[in-house]
Chains A and B, each alone.
Chain A
Amino acid sequence: MDIFLQQLVNGLVQGSIYALVALGYTMVYGIIELVNFAHGEVVMVGALVSLSVIQRLADRGLSGWGVIAAGILVSIPACMALGFAIERVAYRPLRRAPRLAPLISAIGVSIALQQLAALIWGRNFLHYPEVVARTPFHLGGAVITEVQLVILATAALLMAGLWFLVQRTRLGRAMRATAQNPAVAGLMGVDVDRIIATTFLIGSALAAVAGTLVGTYYNVGNHTMGFLLGMKAFTAAVLGGIGNLQGAMLGGLLLGVIENLGAGYLGNLTGGVIGSNYSDVLSFLMLVAVLVLRPSGLLGERSAEKV
């Protein structure tokens, strides 16, 4: 029972990071029906920019969370600029091209960003300085650390903010209208190019926060860290129904929980033949299962026909 509760807590924490990244995928898909495969790399850049800031400020006697907040505040504009540039350079010129073209372009951007990051930060795994104490709190039979609590709270706050922005503001209305019918939204005076750019900006800002949280949680960063994280988040978006915001949130949390429960129980259930290191396999098996059984995802209305 303790393992269950503990893995549930860990799963929700990890899942809320997946959810933040999945939102970036799903927002872009919702509005231009493109799977932005470079999004994982934007998260990676966010993590490494934060890392650089946090390393510089780590031993100055500042408060730990202040240092991390500084990292986030620097990485957000960096990622927003990056996301904006990617859309402008790699996707906008291809908006009327055959569907495969922007997808290939996305993969190209992804590889280019990884190599660029390797040039800037090197190819080694970089250590995220531990600036916050891992104070444990006891919660029933489970332990939750301060870092985990902050991750949960930050993700919840950002998701609530995004939901409000999309459902209750003029900008969000224009985004939903563009997602449903860009041509008609244009006739209502919505500047569609600008809405698309704004979507990339918002998704990239979330990616910056997610990257910093991942680094702080696992204490490690590297130029390849975006790939697996991006794939997981994409899985979460598909699981929830790509194009659907609540779906991305639900899918992220669900994926995190399933993965961690798998890691907790796989070893016992199979008598040690399959260990916790197979939890990634479990995630991607789930992606396959969802695509076969319910291609439109748990909350999706439209089928994900673009990939």
Chain B
Amino acid sequence: MSAGVLLRAEAVGKKFGGLTALAEVSFVIPRQSIYGLIGPNGAGKTTLFNLLTGIYTPDSGRFEFDGAPLAGGAPDRSCAAGIARTFQNIRLFASMTALENVMVGRHVRTRAGVFGAILRTRDERAEEQAIAARAMELLEFVGIAHRAHHVARHLSYGDQRRLEIARALATEPQLLALDEPAAGMNETETAQLGELLRRIRALDITILLIEHDVKLVMGLCDRVAVLEYGRLIAEGEPEAVQRDPRVIEAYLGAEHGGGEAA
């Protein structure tokens, strides 16, 4: 895979009734980058995520992912194409163990169906072992292997966030979309998260990051896009975006007025 474009959004739009959630949004995410998406609440960030992962279908425009158009409205196919995500409000399978949560993530890359499961074929058993082994590796990668057999709802908040990332990685994504992964984390946890995201990028996985923590975004991202009222108002390298007067007015302005950006 050469460096180049992983995701191209072309004039993507979405309306809910009379409300325009996104209008003519176009941007390009280069491979192996961490791409930040920021904007005030209600700017359309999560809507964009939902379009990208097939939960909604765009009303206009289109996405091109890895050189092929992305069909909307089918989450399992977006996943198969190589897009995985986490949620702003954590959505784990709460009464399954951490390990099982990650094993569900392997579903899309594995085969065994009803007959394999009932007949316990040799292939099926081998695959099951491979799924469990891979899931364990991923738990180790995000640093919660010692919690593998705990039920997800009993994990600490930070560990639940890590588990969501491990589960998303289990689908072998090319693009990992994270919706406010640092929400509710303290400074140490946020710093550890940043380090984890760099390690993920080093695996040739591109990251799309929605985040309110401006310091994290500016320090981590290779490129940043800024949304306001469903429109893209700035796009580029963090330093340039930070200096853009429209961005300062729309988003950073208020925080700059109050002193150091949180």
Contacts and interface: CB of A to CB of B under 8 A. Distances in A.
Interface stretch (B5-13, B113-121, B206-214, B251-259): B113-121
B107 A176 contact: no
B17 to A, nearest CB: 17
Contact of B76 (A180, A186, A198): A186
B96 A170 contact: no
Q: Is the interface of B mostly helix, strand, loop or mixed?
A: helix
Given A177-B93, A192-B76, A185 B117 contact: no
Interface in B141-179: 167, 170-171
B114 A181 contact: no
B103 A198 contact: no
B105 interface: yes
Nearest to B94: A180
A171 B107 CA distance: 9
A176 B76 contact: no
A198 B114 contact: yes
A177 B118 CA distance: 19
B215 interface: no
Contacts of B131: 170
A16 to B, nearest CB: 21
B112 A189 contact: no
Interface string A149-187: 000000000000100010011111110110011011111
A171 B112 contact: yes
Contact of B85 (A165, A187, A198): A187
B104 A173 contact: yes
Contact of B84 (A172, A187, A198): A187
Contact of A170 (B80, B127, B171): B127
A180 B93 contact: yes
A173 B96 CA distance: 9
A190 B76 contact: yes
A13 B79 CA distance: 46
B123 to A, nearest CB: 12
A301 interface: yes
A174 B104 contact: yes
A146 interface: no
Contact of B112 (A170, A180, A183, A191): A170
Nearest to A176: B96
Nearest to A202: B114
A30 to B, nearest CB: 11
A169 to B, nearest CB: 4
A188 interface: yes
B108 A189 contact: yes
Nearest to A201: B114
B128 interface: yes
Given A169-B112, A174-B104, A184 B171 contact: no
Interface string B73-85: 0011011100011
A192 B74 CA distance: 10
Contact of A184 (B91, B103, B170): B91
Given A187-B53, A189-B109, A180 B84 contact: no
Interface string A198-216: 1001000000000000000
Contacts of B104: 173-174, 177, 185, 188, 190
14 contacts: A170-B106, A170-B107, A170-B110, A171-B112, A171-B113, A171-B114, A172-B117, A174-B104, A176-B96, A184-B87, A187-B76, A187-B79, A189-B171, A191-B76
Lowest 5 CB-CB distances: which A-B pairs, in order? A189-B108, A186-B75, A189-B79, A169-B117, A177-B104
Interface of A: 161, 165, 168-174, 176-177, 180-181, 183-192, 198, 201, 301
Given A170-B112, A171-B112, A190-B108, 16 more contacts: A169-B124, A170-B106, A170-B124, A173-B96, A174-B107, A177-B104, A183-B91, A185-B93, A185-B104, A186-B75, A187-B78, A187-B79, A188-B105, A188-B107, A189-B171, A190-B104
